[in-house]
Chain A
Amino acid sequence: VKEIVIVSGKGGAGKTTLALSLFETPRVAALLDADVEEPNAHLFLESKKTKQWPVNLPIPEFDGDLCSKCGKCVAICQFNAIASAGKAGKIIFEELCHSCNACVELCPTQALRPRDVAIGSVTLSEIAAKKQLYTGRLNVANASAPEVIRSLKEKALSRLGSDEVVIVDSPPGCACTFTAAIENAFYVLVVIEDSPFGIHDADKVIQAVLKENLPVGVIINRAKEKQDAFNYCKDKGLKVLMEIPENIDIAKGYSEGRTLSKIVPAYSLVFKQILEVILENN
């Protein structure tokens, strides 16, 4: 599967808008919404049928009758997720647990056993014309976003043919969720908002993508007359595939739940060409 992953660094740069636009082109079979903390693509698409799978992580369960009070579990846990509580035995703080299994492995008496706890879900929505939307969703008050992203990809890729093209809509930022989103990318498309914040944050993700030796291209959004973002790309030798000018009508259309090609119909041909260029040259 060829994963075209859309990233931006700064939030609100236009990732979802562009992901939806590329999803509309004929070659693309599926859209994976990997912004699992705040997934939004489904708000713009009408789905016919949906299916859902839970994303579980093993969290240890404590059995006081078996505990020998050796303290190995408390000592090994690097996330302070287990504490000794006198006669009550051990307390496990689920929200701090990283499901590394270290305590379970080191417990000499099997007093700790893993139990599946739901941390989120993956939803498959059938969209018109044999297209599929896969949405990863992190449960509120849970911190394991990268695990939901990896589950989302695994689930989607296991159901898609090997020569299919998919678009991945990523979370903002460049932390561990970003790392999970760009894993196995065929191509990384960076959306740069043409503003000082947008360029600063995009630069961080671009450096990280280049370090991974992944092919990268840029779409500039809300392009201003001064062309700061364009000049930045020129300096860095980055390929600019498209520039979308600052346009209040696009912002209003977006607020009405319309996709970019519905607001500016001429763009649908441009996106078709961009996809062809990406697939041919990489």
Chain B
Amino acid sequence: LKTIKELVVLSGKGGTGKTSVTASLACFLKPSVLADCDVDAANLSMLYSVQEKRREDFFGGNEAQINSEKCSACGLCAELCRFDAIEEKGGVYSVMEGRCEGCKLCVVKCPEEAIDWKPAHNGVWMVSKDKGINIFHAELNGGAENSGKLATKVRGEAFQYAEQLVSRGEGNSDLLLIDGPPGIGCPVIASLTGATAALIVTEPTPSGFHDLKRILELAAHFRIPSMILINKADLNSAIVDEIYGFAKGKAEVVGEIPYSELFHKAQKACSPIPELAPESVETELLRDISKKISKTLDAISAKKRGGER
């Protein structure tokens, strides 16, 4: 039986405020562990004064490397490669950086056994701490493959640690809060599958609304219940109304936050909004929103447990 609740914060469109919302909600939801699965634009730890406790290299798979001494330049590898990752310059074959998907076909087919199969270093993952909050995060190497696998790694490590804390009776709560990546691709799927629920942070703009529909469709595909938070809600009240209309029967809208300078100020101060401005309207709204989220998460978990019995 799953003991940890996982809430993943997504948006479809980038720049709607996922990271700021995640850190702000954490002030009220008190998760045991935070995970930043936006591994190629990781910002969550920047909202804290963190101390790094652990750092590990990440090898997402293997990649091919041609040994030019053994290579007979037959060209079979380039012919077989579906990713056009092998180039030939003046009769010398080599694997282009960042292009090898790691399928191993060329390695096993090379008649000269001239292709080495080397672990691919795609980035690092870290555990950092600030005042009792554990943050699991990562940095994908620029242009690297395997962002989905790195997101899976960060999420998996965070989950295990949260389970340990809870079993020792040390955690703040049974919640793992995940800051997800934008889009609907690999790393989003890796952050979303099997989660207890998704919180979609959207904005009332044509792009925000369009992308909200696609991320909701993705969550529905994986049967993950969704909630919606409308950020920058005062930008366009007509689209806000449309979002409510669209969400009906699909997802609960847990609240609205106005377009606010506090998002930028919080980044500059390395501090979540409720800590930076405890008396602000934004903090009050975030407090209410987190209460609603808590309630909904409890209801989802209770329903799941019922189903499993």
- Report A's interface with B, CB cutoff 8 A: 9-13, 16, 35, 37-38, 40, 43-44, 76, 78-79, 98-102, 105-106, 138, 140-141, 143, 145, 171-179, 193, 195-197, 200-201, 204-205, 207-208, 211-212, 224, 248, 251-252, 254-257
**Contact partners of A176 in chain B: CB under 8 A:** 98, 143-145, 147
Complex: chain B residue closest to A40, CB-CB: B207
Instruction: Knowing A38-B182, A98-B103, say if A12 contacts B268 (CB, 8 Å).
Output: no
For residue A142, give the distance in angstroms from its CB to the closest CB of chain B: 8
Report the Cα distance A197→B235, complex, angstroms.
Answer: 22
The one of A38, A76, A172 in contact with B210, judged by C-beta atoms closer than 8 angstroms, is: A38
Provide the main secondary structure of the chain B interface: loop
Report the Cα distance A137→B79, complex, angstroms.
Answer: 28
Q: Is the CB of A205 within 8 A of B183?
A: no
| B83 interface contact, C-beta 8 A | yes
Q: Is the CB of A255 within 8 A of B204?
A: yes
The one of A11, A143, A248, A251 in contact with B14, judged by C-beta atoms closer than 8 angstroms, is: A11
Q: Is the CB of A256 within 8 A of B186?
A: no
| B211 interface contact, C-beta 8 A | yes
**Contact partners of A193 in chain B: CB under 8 A:** 15
Interchain residue pairs A-B with the least CB separation, the first 4:
A11-B14, A12-B15, A208-B142, A100-B103
Q: Which of A9, A16, A173, A201 neighbours the largest number of chain B CB atoms within 10 Å of its CB?
A: A173
Instruction: Knowing A38-B210, A140-B214, A224-B264, say if A172 contacts B145 (CB, 8 Å).
Output: no
Q: Is the CB of B214 within 8 A of A141?
A: no
Q: Which of A140, A176, A177, A248 neighbours the largest number of chain B CB atoms within 10 Å of its CB?
A: A176
Q: Is the CB of B142 within 8 A of A207?
A: yes
Q: Is the CB of A204 within 8 A of B206?
A: no
Chain B 45-70 residues near chain A, CB threshold 8 A: 46, 61-62
For residue A216, give the distance in angstroms from its CB to the closest CB of chain B: 13
Q: Is the CB of B210 within 8 A of A12?
A: no
For residue A131, give the distance in angstroms from its CB to the closest CB of chain B: 20
Q: Is the CB of A175 within 8 A of B46?
A: no
Chain B 108-153 residues near chain A, CB threshold 8 A: 108-109, 139-140, 142-145, 147-148
Q: Is the CB of A12 within 8 A of B14?
A: yes
Report the Cα distance A197→B101, complex, angstroms.
Answer: 29
Report the Cα distance A248→B259, complex, angstroms.
Answer: 9
Report the Cα distance A43→B96, complex, angstroms.
Answer: 36
**With A145-B185, A252-B236 given, can you name 16 additional A-B contacts, CB distance below 8 Å?**
A10-B14, A11-B11, A11-B13, A37-B214, A38-B214, A40-B13, A40-B210, A76-B104, A140-B184, A140-B221, A172-B15, A174-B143, A175-B143, A175-B147, A176-B147, A197-B43
Chain B 261-292 residues near chain A, CB threshold 8 A: 264, 267-268
